[in-house]
Amino acid sequence: MKSLICGSLAYDTIMMYEGRFSEALLADQLHKINVSFLVPGLRREFGGCAGNVAYNLKLLGGDPLIMATIGQDGAPYREHLDKLQISQQCIKSIDDSYTGQAFITTDAGGNQITAFHPGAMSFSHHNKVADAGDVKIAIVAPDGRDGMLQHAQHCADLNIPLIFDPGQGMPMFNGDELKNFIELATYVAVNDYEAEMLTARTGLSLEEIAQRVSALIVTRGEQGAEIFTGTEHLEIPCVKADGIVDPTGCGDAFRAGMLYGLTNDFDWATTGRLSSLMGSIKIASQGPQNHAPSRAEIEERFHKAFGYRL
């Protein structure tokens, strides 16, 4: 059964800074920052939340359907998706815009500073959820503001179970709008920083948010993740990675595990563990879409980490 992934397609320009950002920032001068970071390492990757989630879901054997907008420079991305055999049915080209562009600088501590040009994302509302046909679940991830609002509402109107994943798009919405997303959603997924921002903007505690959805998922990096359901509070351990190479796209890999678990009716403990494993696999590889374990390798790593098979 298809999983509808509403979100961005983007090119990621990823730069590696060998020091730490904190060493270049003066606490008493934050009102007039003027810093420059020497970045010996630079790569250009296929990225964007929708692309990253779909890539990882495909690795698991899922059936991702991307709903996104792409620009006049989108031909390489379309060729990439063709090679992956990922449907482009709901990808719309915007000929007078560029594809979204993320410029990500990562320091030696894994901290990131990102600048993002939305480009074609700003027209994401031109896509209609009804055009996707029969889907079992959907996720609304960072995208154009109007598109996120519209896609969440349309999923609710069509009774499609929805994961709301505000991510770096959260600053676009005020407290009332975020509350409305929560009301429309079946599940909410955030990292620990986003969880604090969500509670601050809505005035709702994590417990209150959890009461409004079937499950609230909070990822906490190396500390694993927490899943709050109506009856359970699960602590999901972090899976030891082969190496800590690049955190870009780890959250998207985690969400692919969620989609796979939910579409296959796994319990929350198994869904959370699979999600944690996918993040662990991704962080050991440069870029968000370069790791390529087989499904059999993923299953074996799951068994090794948790003592039972999917």
- Residue 260 belongs to a domain with what CATH number? 3.40.1190.20
CA distance 144 to 273: 30
Output the pLDDT for position 92.
98
Output the pLDDT for position 76.
97
Q: Is residue 19, in this structure, part of any structural domain at all?
A: no
Higher pLDDT, 159 or 27: 159
CA distance 44 to 29: 32
Using CB atoms within 10 Å of the CB of residue 247, give its burial: 0 to 12 exposed, 13 to 18 middle, 19+ buried.
middle
CA distance 159 to 183: 13
Q: Is residue 34, in this structure, part of any structural domain at all?
A: no
Side-chain half-sphere CA neighbours of 252 within 13 A: 29
* Window from 11-25, 42-56, 176-190 with minimum mean pLDDT: 11-25
CA dihedral 259, 102, 289, 15 (to 10 degrees): -140
What are the tens digits of pLDDT across the range 188-215?
999 999 999 999 999 999 999 999 999 9
SS3 10: strand
Q: Is residue 107, in this structure, part of any structural domain at all?
A: no
Question: Which string of DSSP letters, residue by residue, matches 219-287?
Answer: E-GGG-EEEEESS-EEEEPPPPPS-----TTHHHHHHHHHHHHHHTT--HHHHHHHHHHHHHHHHTSSS
What are the tens digits of pLDDT across the range 82-141?
999 999 999 999 999 999 998 989 899 878 888 889 999 999 999 999 999 999 999 999
Residue 27 has pLDDT above 80, yes or no: no
Q: Is residue 29, in this structure, part of any structural domain at all?
A: no
How many domains, the chain? 1
Q: Is residue 111, in this structure, part of any structural domain at all?
A: no
Residue 30 pLDDT class (50, 70, 90 cuts): confident
Q: Is residue 106, in this structure, part of any structural domain at all?
A: no
Residue 28 has pLDDT above 90, yes or no: no
Output the pLDDT for position 55.
98
Q: Percent of the chain beyond pLDDT 70?
A: 100
Residue 73 pLDDT class (50, 70, 90 cuts): very high
Q: Is residue 57, in this structure, part of any structural domain at all?
A: yes
Residue 285 pLDDT class (50, 70, 90 cuts): very high
Which residue range is the domain that position 210 belongs to? 2-9+48-100+119-306
Mean model confidence pLDDT for the chain: 95
Q: Is residue 25, in this structure, part of any structural domain at all?
A: no
* Window from 108-122, 137-151, 266-280 with minimum mean pLDDT: 108-122
Task: Average the pLDDT over 72-87 and give the result.
Answer: 98
Measuring CA to CA, which residue among 83, 82, 81 is closest to residue 47? 81
Residue 25 has pLDDT above 90, yes or no: no
